[in-house]
Amino acid sequence: MTPSDVTAVAVAWNSREDLPRALASVSGVASTLVVDNASPDGSAEVARGLGARVIANSENRGFASAANQAIREASTPLVLLLNPDAELRPGALAALLQAITSDPRLAVVGPLTRNEDGTIQLSFGSDLEPWSERRQRRLVDGVRRRDARVLAEVERLAGRGHSPDWISACCWLARREALLSEGLFDEGFFLYEEDADLCRRLRAGGWQLGFVRDAEVVHRLGRSAALSGGRARREYDRSHLRYYAKWNGPWLTLLLRLSLLLRGRL
């Protein structure tokens, strides 16, 4: 497959400053589609001015619902989901295309992601369960602090291509047929963990995931979330509970709910 088989998709919310870089990095694909979730900052107009096709929602429908709109609308066999606050580095799309073309069992491939200063981000992991989340949180917190030992550990984890349980949807190259076959994103997730949920359903359906070390993306992590105040934290907790209720059983879900209550988060 080639870039002519790809529709690039971005879900925008107050993203006018970031969209030009994101869309410039996907030049050469068959088409570019931006779903704007009622941004008050003129994101839709910026996207149109950059030549993208725009679906302008009258309200903020959340990431999962907006991404599903675009995936349904796309006509190419592959869709490239790219956050507006992310941009492909040169050669990244070619590496992702080569990976997904090499194995028909691959539903989603994702790149290594880095901060603007070049430090690594942890954009993949194991299924979300208490023991795996504790390890993931240690690594994420260490990366945020720029702890040299943790950065080295994450560089080692990301130093080879492999098949993780989930890959962050800040950048996915995905087979549209695979996403459709498993029902797309669960629109009960407004923001966060919809990617981990869909990855788990894809794997349960017999598909595989691929982390592509040779593809790199710069991700200005959390730009839209930072603009939404406390809502992002509330939606994270709500998504976390939804994920646990779907996959981890009533007892672990109850323990998570009690933990959130004790921390004043519910």
Residue 109 in any domain: the answer is yes
pLDDT above 60 (res 191) = yes
Q: Which of 73, 93, 105 is nearest to 1 (CA)?
A: 93
Residue 95 in any domain: the answer is yes
The total domain count for the chain is 1
The Cα–Cα gap between 158 and 111 comes to: 10
Range of the domain at 133: 3-226
* Predicted confidence band of residue 225 (pLDDT cuts 50, 70, 90): low
Residue 258 in any domain: the answer is no
Residue 38 in any domain: the answer is yes
Mean pLDDT, rounded, for 227-252: 89
Residue 263 in any domain: the answer is no
The CA distances from residue 57 to 9, 66, 70, 141, in Å, are: 15, 8, 12, 35
Segment 67-94, tens digit of pLDDT: 999 999 999 999 999 999 999 999 999 9
H or E element at residue 19? helix 19-24
Residue 163 in any domain: the answer is yes
The pair of structure tokens assigned to 114 is: 């880095």
Residue 244 in any domain: the answer is no
Residue 252 in any domain: the answer is no
Sign of CA dihedral 252, 258, 263, 266: positive
* Predicted confidence band of residue 226 (pLDDT cuts 50, 70, 90): low
pLDDT above 70 (res 249) = yes
The Cα–Cα gap between 117 and 248 comes to: 37
Task: CATH number of the domain at 10, please.
Answer: 3.90.550.10
Residue 223, pLDDT score: 61
